[in-house]
Amino acid sequence: MVSKRILTLIGFNPARKKWLPYWLKMPQMTVASDAIYSVLSFDDPLESFKGHPRTAGTHGKVVVLGREHNVPLMFTLAQMRYWPAKHLGNAGLEAMMVRRRLQVGMAADITIFDAEKVKDKATYKAGKQGLPTTGIPYVIVNGKLVVKDSKFQKGVWAGQAIRYPVEEKGRFVPASADDHAVTLQRQVRWDVSSRWTLLFFGGGGRVAEEIGHLGSSPTQFAGGAGFRYMIDPESGISIGVDLAGGGDGIEFYVQVSDFFAN
């Protein structure tokens, strides 16, 4: 059986070198890796990780950039530890209120490092995407050593789930929970060659809080065009670019799709 998986990414590449120094010096700014579960086990070599280097190198990179731009070390540490916990604690996440500073009564989450030797090692190169940051010999979580002599300690499960208190009734309701919609869409594809395909798409629709009001709701239209290029016909991996526009403006998308056999 052959199944299809599609991943859509938004293509956006600003001039980061120009504005990164501003973020490094912005009060109350917080740092996050935006990492997700890597699906690797603790027995897999770090070189086998395939993903964005931010998963392993975000915080090390912030320390390095702060050092290069003469940002006070305590300011950088606050961006990575104090302010994230402070903001989440103020939002009602009580467990974060004891995780924002090193003092009696706080959770024993401690990172011991040499600020002058910290260096991120993860890059986009295959085999180096998951390399850990150096210069951090010890990490303590809930009073237990999880990194000792710069080596991760297998079998030490010190982390704890941090969640909001369980409530009988949830507070949050999606904005469109009570909305009703009707849409009509059409797509036309033109295979220029065995590898190149052009496509054109468009549609319209209406949205209303009550189904009976759909007839009087304004119709919104959108459309666009794009192309697909088959990188590897044998495996079905292709890449494409779409340009779409409607009442809210114009959007640019990069799409990667692949086919794989189960």
Q: What is the pLDDT along the chain (262 residues), one digit of tens a residue?
A: 444 445 554 445 556 777 888 889 998 899 988 887 777 787 888 888 888 889 999 999 999 999 999 999 999 999 999 999 999 998 888 889 888 888 898 888 999 999 999 999 999 888 999 999 999 999 999 999 999 999 999 889 898 888 888 878 877 666 554 567 778 888 888 889 888 989 898 998 887 777 777 778 888 888 999 988 888 776 667 788 888 888 777 887 787 764 333 2
**Interaxial angle between packed helices 16-24 and 54-68, expressed in degrees from 0 to 180 and rounded to the nearest 10:** 80
pLDDT at 176: 55
Structure tokens at 25: 């010096």
| CB-based contacts of 142, cutoff 8 Å, min separation 6 | 107, 108, 109, 158, 159, 160
pLDDT at 77: 94
Q: Rounded CA gap, 71 and 21, in Å?
A: 9
pLDDT at 65: 94
pLDDT at 41: 80
